Chains A and B, each alone.
Chain A
């Protein structure tokens, strides 16, 4: 039985590009996916790196963070920004 944490972790390790996409693919609620991501970052299973800010020249529609951003609120910032999430260690 895989719970939300395993599902979200699997999506991150599968390279699912955006939080919105993770939400779509897992069918979990936005709130739970974000909480799970925050938890995985805090417990050191994934790392979250803030990327340089700035809008893509092609407009907001193509911005990977258009569907919301992945920066864990628990890490201090609630402002939308682009972050890259990466696995700290392979999933057992």
Chain B
């Protein structure tokens, strides 16, 4: 088990001469001041054995110490290779005062015989190498043992190397630890305090880099000082025959020494992150900073993604539809139900799915950015107190804020929550955040019914949205999750850092792909199903695909459903139909009205003819209490299932059963609230 990196000068060594003591005895006695002609420092020269685990730089150190004064051969009676050399130990720029030459000359250099013992992780004799090391250090006659043992220890894997030190320290031996690979340790963010380590180990520790030949002089000085001193008392060991207890005692000892000596750079220094945190999490400044960041997230997800969404929408309703139509004309299927299925079912469904892609991608980028930069952990600290009231940790704020832009990415954003139950609760609450699609309907209804107070009405919906989240959250927590304790806030704050682009891109791509894979089916199927229901005639004399909505199966269903909304004041079949389409997507509510009232869709900001139709409808259905009915309708719109894409995302995150449960909660909440609003409202208006 010798190291291959080691350029050895191999001489012919007989078993006789390869033994250090015999070699020393055979070598002519000479002053240490002379250069030895053979690889021995003389009979009186101290013997230093270098031991250490493989790959700790042991042989590199040996080579650095001995230069070319080396012989290598098998240890007598074994196949284990041992190198022996002379180390001209020169301490750094100071005359030899201790451990000088035997003849008493003032001498700055002391020659030592050095043995490079085979790599050994321990003295437990698991291999011939370890066996020899153990024999030499532990079991051989005392006068044959080396005078000093240098143990090489890899600073980047300190505990691994210290086990051998623990064992060697149990022997009546002088021990010096040569710590190598400090640069590697430093690259991993760890530095070892050699003084603290020496204190813990009870023997000197010298940091060296044999490759760069640094620390060798210090090692020489320390070795000479130690040689001049008496053999230190061995480390006490527990009185036991149990190997595990004995080994564990060594580990207890070494881990204490390692812990005491390991210094994480910047451990006690305040970093830039700390300075930023002083502002970002501060009692007064923290919340505004958080709100600013969230506003930016909200703005970016809606404003940047909207043009892209519109462009994709135009692409699908324009060129793609035209191409499909042209294709159908070629095969003479234009004007048939196939055209309806392809254009109004598949193309519309796929188009809707794809318009979510830019939004989702942007959302995931922002999420990854917040998470990777380290801000998310701070935001969780800031919002923790607030979120705690509904039993959620601080970081649940993010998906809820995102939900005000679009519920679909918000559902996916719940993944930042580590606890499954908290994730589930947040997934169930996200649909109550008023997304921007609902905003378009609110704005349209607001301008039609509230005139100058339209802004207040819309704002009221947002307030209602926040109230709904808190109320439903409390309700669910009091009923379903009564056992869910609020865990105390303990967050390990990572240092801020610049996010890795490649990693972010990978994460974003994986998440978008996952969304497409799971959401595509449900969206396309639902859009096609609505088309199918609207195409199947429910009255005689109409043909498939050529039927008005009123006479289709869809119209009949809407008519059947509409009485349900009577206590809420909007039991018109057109309104019920709009709500049913709204189940697929809120954007479709207005177009559904336009379709059923057979008018053009109004331009934003003007209510036009459609407004008059709707006004008349609400007035009729509410028995004159128009405003309470409209408010009830808006509240229903706010609280019931946002869109089929949200359902797809929910199914992906929490499964079909919980998604169905969520739909039930949403419909129940929406209906109850709408009825309450209308019934209470009509007492006043």
Complex: A in contact with B (CB within 8 Å): yes
Q: Is B510 an interface residue (CB 8 A)?
A: yes
A6 to B: closest C-beta gap in Å: 5
Residue of B nearest to A1 (CB): B252
Q: Is B137 an interface residue (CB 8 A)?
A: no
A74 touches B160 (CB 8 A): yes
Query: A15-23, A28-36, A48-56: which lies at the B interface?
Result: A28-36
Among A2, A6, A34, A42, the residue within 8 A (CB) of B159 is A34
A1 to B: closest C-beta gap in Å: 8
B258 touches A31 (CB 8 A): yes
Which A residues are CB-close (under 8 A) to B160?
31, 34-35, 38, 73-74
B124 touches A59 (CB 8 A): no
Given A6-B248, A32-B258, A73-B122 contact (CB < 8 Å): no
> Which residues B247-293 have CB closer than 8 A to chain A?
247-249, 251-252, 254-255, 258-259, 262
Which B residues are CB-close (under 8 A) to A36?
159, 251
B237 to A: closest C-beta gap in Å: 13
Given A29-B259, A43-B243, A35-B248 contact (CB < 8 Å): no
A73 touches B157 (CB 8 A): yes
Residue of B nearest to A30 (CB): B159
B368 to A: closest C-beta gap in Å: 13
Which A residues are CB-close (under 8 A) to B121?
38, 42, 74
Q: Is B640 an interface residue (CB 8 A)?
A: no
A5 touches B53 (CB 8 A): no
> Which residues B160-184 have CB closer than 8 A to chain A?
160, 162-163
Q: A42 to B255, alpha carbons, bound, how many Å? A: 18
Given A43-B243, A74-B121, A31-B251 contact (CB < 8 Å): no
A4 touches B251 (CB 8 A): yes
Which B residues are CB-close (under 8 A) to A28?
255
B163 touches A4 (CB 8 A): no
Majority DSSP secondary structure for residues of B touching A: helix
B126 touches A2 (CB 8 A): no
Which A residues are CB-close (under 8 A) to B262?
29, 31
> Which residues B93-139 have CB closer than 8 A to chain A?
121-122, 124, 126
Q: Is B498 an interface residue (CB 8 A)?
A: no
Given A74-B53, A74-B121, A29-B251 contact (CB < 8 Å): no
B249 touches A3 (CB 8 A): yes
Which A residues are CB-close (under 8 A) to B158?
31
Q: A3 to B250, alpha carbons, bound, how many Å? A: 9
Q: A6 to B54, alpha carbons, bound, how many Å? A: 26
A60 to B: closest C-beta gap in Å: 9
Q: Is B244 an interface residue (CB 8 A)?
A: yes
Q: A73 to B53, alpha carbons, bound, how many Å? A: 11
Q: A6 to B151, alpha carbons, bound, how many Å? A: 26
Given A29-B258, A74-B121, A3-B252 contact (CB < 8 Å): yes
Residue of B nearest to A28 (CB): B255
Number of interface residues of A (CB under 8 A): 23
Which A residues are CB-close (under 8 A) to B259?
29, 32
Q: A1 to B253, alpha carbons, bound, how many Å? A: 13
Q: A32 to B243, alpha carbons, bound, how many Å? A: 19
B124 to A: closest C-beta gap in Å: 7
B244 touches A45 (CB 8 A): yes
B126 touches A42 (CB 8 A): yes
Q: A43 to B127, alpha carbons, bound, how many Å? A: 12
Given A29-B258, A29-B262, A45-B244, A39-B157 contact (CB < 8 Å): no
Contact with A along B502-514 (1 / 0, CB 8 A): 0000000010000
Q: A4 to B250, alpha carbons, bound, how many Å? A: 9
B159 touches A35 (CB 8 A): yes
Q: A83 to B632, alpha carbons, bound, how many Å? A: 61
B510 touches A59 (CB 8 A): yes
A34 to B: closest C-beta gap in Å: 7
Which A residues are CB-close (under 8 A) to B247?
5, 39, 43
B157 touches A5 (CB 8 A): no
Among B163, B252, B258, B510, the residue within 8 A (CB) of A39 is B163
Q: A61 to B243, alpha carbons, bound, how many Å? A: 38
B613 to A: closest C-beta gap in Å: 51
Which B residues are CB-close (under 8 A) to A42?
121-122, 124, 126
B248 touches A4 (CB 8 A): yes
Given A29-B159, A35-B159, A74-B160, A3-B243 contact (CB < 8 Å): no
Residue of A nearest to B510 (CB): A59
Q: A43 to B20, alpha carbons, bound, how many Å? A: 31
Q: A38 to B121, alpha carbons, bound, how many Å? A: 10
Residue of A nearest to B156 (CB): A31
Which B residues are CB-close (under 8 A) to A5?
244, 247-248, 251
Residue of B nearest to A74 (CB): B121
A35 touches B243 (CB 8 A): no
Residue of B nearest to A5 (CB): B248
Residue of A nearest to B252 (CB): A3
A31 touches B159 (CB 8 A): yes
Given A42-B122, A59-B510, A4-B243 contact (CB < 8 Å): no
B124 touches A32 (CB 8 A): no
> Which residues B209-266 have CB closer than 8 A to chain A?
243-244, 247-249, 251-252, 254-255, 258-259, 262
Which B residues are CB-close (under 8 A) to A29?
159, 255, 258-259, 262
B248 touches A3 (CB 8 A): yes
Among A9, A35, A43, A45, the residue within 8 A (CB) of B157 is A35
Residue of A nearest to B242 (CB): A92
A3 touches B510 (CB 8 A): no
A18 to B: closest C-beta gap in Å: 16
A75 to B: closest C-beta gap in Å: 10
B134 to A: closest C-beta gap in Å: 14
Which A residues are CB-close (under 8 A) to B122?
39, 42
A55 to B: closest C-beta gap in Å: 12
Which B residues are CB-close (under 8 A) to A38?
121, 160
Binding site for B on A (CB under 8 A): 1-6, 9, 28-29, 31-32, 34-36, 38-39, 42-43, 45, 59, 73-74, 92
Q: Which 4 pairs across A and B sit closest by C-beta, in order of nearness?
A: A35-B159, A3-B252, A3-B248, A5-B248
Given A4-B248, A6-B248, A34-B157, output 11 extra A-B contacts at Cβ < 8 Å.
Answer: A31-B158, A31-B160, A32-B251, A32-B258, A32-B259, A35-B251, A38-B121, A39-B122, A43-B243, A43-B247, A92-B244
* 23 examples of A-B residue contacts, CB within 8 angstroms: A2-B248, A3-B249, A4-B248, A4-B251, A4-B252, A5-B244, A6-B248, A29-B255, A29-B258, A29-B262, A31-B157, A31-B160, A31-B262, A32-B255, A34-B159, A35-B160, A38-B121, A39-B122, A39-B247, A43-B124, A43-B247, A74-B53, A92-B244
